């Protein structure tokens, strides 16, 4: 990785942290330049506009999410172990400083049309598809009911993650992680074959 790419990656890492606290809309080129210790013109060399910055932040976060959450989970054995690995990786992602940028941005952008919202929605659809596919492998392995609905499981799994995020971050409830795991246990118990 060249110096320019390394600088841009460091800027995007800083931008993700900023976006989780002030939102994508609240993130300004000037504030980010100050945080990244660059001039505004130096930052403009990497991003053509605020929208371009927001899109690149979401893409950078998606790449990190795949590397930190999805790829490690896919290394687990198929079926329930993989579902649990995906769940644990998502818990870690959501528990990191700043929390989950995708959840934070969803609240901010859910009713604002545009390219940034479209990208975020595509990321969310990909996430739900990933959960459903991981669950589907458990059906193929005979670990879950043959007639189980992978999309419903993905909906419920993601609902647990959203509840965990809000309960832990907004309510500062120290039982959030334990409750999230109990919810996953209940989902898996209902889905198990035989």
* 72: in domain: yes
In a domain, 143, yes or no: yes
Looking at residue 46, its pLDDT comes to: 79
For 82, the enclosing helix (H) or strand (E) is helix 80-95
How many domains are contained in the chain? 1
Note whether residue 33 is domain-resident: no
The domain spanning residue 132 has which CATH number?
Answer: 1.10.357.10
Whether residue 82 lies inside any domain: the answer is yes
Residue 29 within a domain: no
With respect to residue 24, please indicate whether it lies within any of the assigned structural domains. Answer: no
The two three-digit tokens of residue 56, written as one number: 């690149």
pLDDT in the model for residue 33: 82
Range of the domain at 61: 48-191
Instruction: Answer yes or no: is 63 within a domain.
Output: yes
**pLDDT (tens place) for every residue of the chain, 194 residues total:** 666 677 788 889 888 988 988 888 888 888 888 888 877 777 777 788 889 999 999 999 999 999 999 999 999 999 999 999 999 999 999 998 888 999 999 988 989 999 999 999 999 999 999 999 999 999 999 999 999 999 999 999 999 999 999 999 999 999 999 999 999 999 999 999 77
Give alpha helix (H) positions in the chain.
Answer: 3-26, 29-36, 40-44, 50-65, 71-74, 80-95, 101-109, 115-140, 150-169, 176-191
């Amino acid at each position: 990785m060249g110096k320019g790419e390394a600088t841009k990656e460091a800027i995007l890492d800083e931008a993700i942290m900023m976006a989780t606290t002030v939102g994508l809309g609240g993130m300004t080129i000037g504030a980010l330049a100050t945080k990244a210790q660059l001039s505004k013109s130096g930052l403009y060399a990497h991003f053509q506009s605020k929208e371009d910055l927001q899109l690149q932040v979401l893409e950078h976060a998606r790449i990190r999410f795949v590397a930190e959450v999805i790829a490690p989970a896919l290394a687990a054995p198929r079926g329930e172990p993989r579902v649990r690995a995906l769940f644990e990786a998502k818990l870690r992602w959501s528990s990191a400083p700043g929390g989950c940028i995708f959840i934070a941005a969803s609240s901010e952008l859910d009713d604002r049309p545009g390219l940034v919202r479209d990208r975020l929605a595509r990321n969310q659809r990909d996430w739900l598809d990933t959960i459903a596919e991981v669950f589907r492998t458990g059906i193929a392995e005979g670990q879950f009911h043959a007639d189980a609905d992978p999309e419903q499981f993905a909906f419920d799994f993601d609902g647990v993650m959203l509840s965990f995020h809000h309960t832990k971050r907004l309510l500062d409830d120290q039982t959030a992680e334990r409750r999230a795991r109990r919810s996953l246990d209940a989902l898996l118990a209902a889905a198990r074959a035989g």
